[in-house]
Amino acid sequence: MSNALPESASVASGDGRSLGSGAPSFSPLYQQIKALMLRRLQAGEWRPGEAIPSEIELASRFKVSQGTVRKAIDELAAENLLVRRQGKGTYVATHSEQRMQYRFLRLTPDQPEHAGPIKREFLDCRRLRAPADIARILQLKAGDMVVEVRRVLHFAGRPVVLDDIWLPGHLFKGLSAERLSEYKGPMYGLFEAEFGVRMICASEKIRAVLPNETEMQLLKIPASTPLLSVERLSRTYDDQPVELRRGLYLTDAHHYRNELN
């Protein structure tokens, strides 16, 4: 077996085993191929929406069999980073697809037939030094700049979602309320297309809360209306956090859907 990958370390095979305490002494070839492909995705060499080289081409480049490339691609596709299309090729996933729209927005009308277009209203977009708690969660240094965005989502003409969003300033230079408003399509589509920041996964913490004065006015609800509080931390490649979002969802005619598998 020839494990000389032209661009990276070779297999840490059974020869050099039990090095150090509990160190993984073995890494399958396909994992190394996957890591190489991940690097190209992260570097932007393969761009969202575009096709990557064919499996045969990649196998030849990496000097491995097609089956090994397939297994690497299988995992990347399972993680929603690539999309396979039989007969056409394998493509880099993008947030600018219907398919991805509802992967992150889990709020759904109680009557699906009442679904309609969602109107986005941006109330604020400013740059400021990160408050201590925000900085900590985003793994920034105290005093680093962040972009703070406030917006309201309207379902069927009615305000239903109030989002406060914080983004690391150094990754989003030039982001403004105008660019947010002008962009057609999902916000994460703008982020990947204009700033090269791709949201890969996120963790949410959900609670029930009551609104404060400001929130009552923005959502046009009385003080006694219970709301879902959804705190989301989104991450890009290497699990680096790149967005903190605190959303308030009005759930009298909508619900947060979740599938347990």
Q: Which residues bind DNA (CB under 7 A)?
A: 1-2, 11, 13-14, 17, 25-26, 28-31, 52, 54-57, 64-68, 70-71, 84-90
> Least separation, in Å, of the C-beta of 227 and a second copy?
5
18 binding a second copy? (CB under 8 A)? no
228: DSSP letter:
E
2 binding a second copy? (CB under 8 A)? no
The torsion angles phi and psi of 101, rounded to 5 degrees, stand at -55, -45
221 binding a second copy? (CB under 8 A)? no
164 binding a second copy? (CB under 8 A)? no
Q: Containing H/E element for 219? A: helix 213-219
Q: Which is nearer to a second copy, 125 or 161 (CB)?
A: 161
> Least separation, in Å, of the C-beta of 189 and DNA?
22
Which region among 22-30, 32-40, 180-188, 195-203 touches a second copy (by CB under 8 A)?
195-203
Cβ pair 73, 41 in contact under 8 A: no
Q: What are the C-alpha distances in Å from 106 to residues 81, 165, 247?
A: 20, 17, 12
Q: Which of 177, 206, 218, 221 binds a second copy (CB under 8 A)?
A: 206
Task: Give the whole-angstrom CA distance, residue 51 versus residue 68.
Answer: 19
Task: Give the whole-angstrom CA distance, residue 136 versus residue 122.
Answer: 26
> Least separation, in Å, of the C-beta of 173 and a second copy?
26
Query: Of a second copy, DNA, none, which one does residue 46 interact with (CB within 5 to 8 Å by kind)?
Result: none
Residues 66-105 that bind a second copy (CB under 8 A): 78-80, 103-104
Q: Which residue has the tokens 């917006």?
A: 151
Task: Give the whole-angstrom CA distance, residue 247 versus residue 218.
Answer: 13
Q: How many CA atoms lie within 13 A of 91 on its CB side?
A: 13
Q: Which of 1, 4, 19, 260 binds a second copy (CB under 8 A)?
A: 260
Q: Which of 82, 125, 227, 244 binds a second copy (CB under 8 A)?
A: 227
Cβ pair 147, 177 in contact under 8 A: no
Longest alpha-carbon distance in the chain? 70
> Least separation, in Å, of the C-beta of 244 and DNA?
35
Query: Of a second copy, DNA, none, which one does residue 21 interact with (CB within 5 to 8 Å by kind)?
Result: none
43 binding a second copy? (CB under 8 A)? no
> Least separation, in Å, of the C-beta of 79 and a second copy?
7
Q: What CA dihedral angle connects 122, 256, 237 and 76, to 10 degrees?
A: -130
228 binding a second copy? (CB under 8 A)? yes
Exposure letters 104-137 (e unless 16+ CB within 10 A, then b): bebbeeeeeeeeeeeeeebeebeeeebeeebbee
Q: Which is nearer to DNA, 90 or 94 (CB)?
A: 90
Q: Which residues bind a second copy (CB under 8 A)?
A: 78-80, 103-104, 106, 201-210, 224, 226-228, 232, 249, 251, 255-261
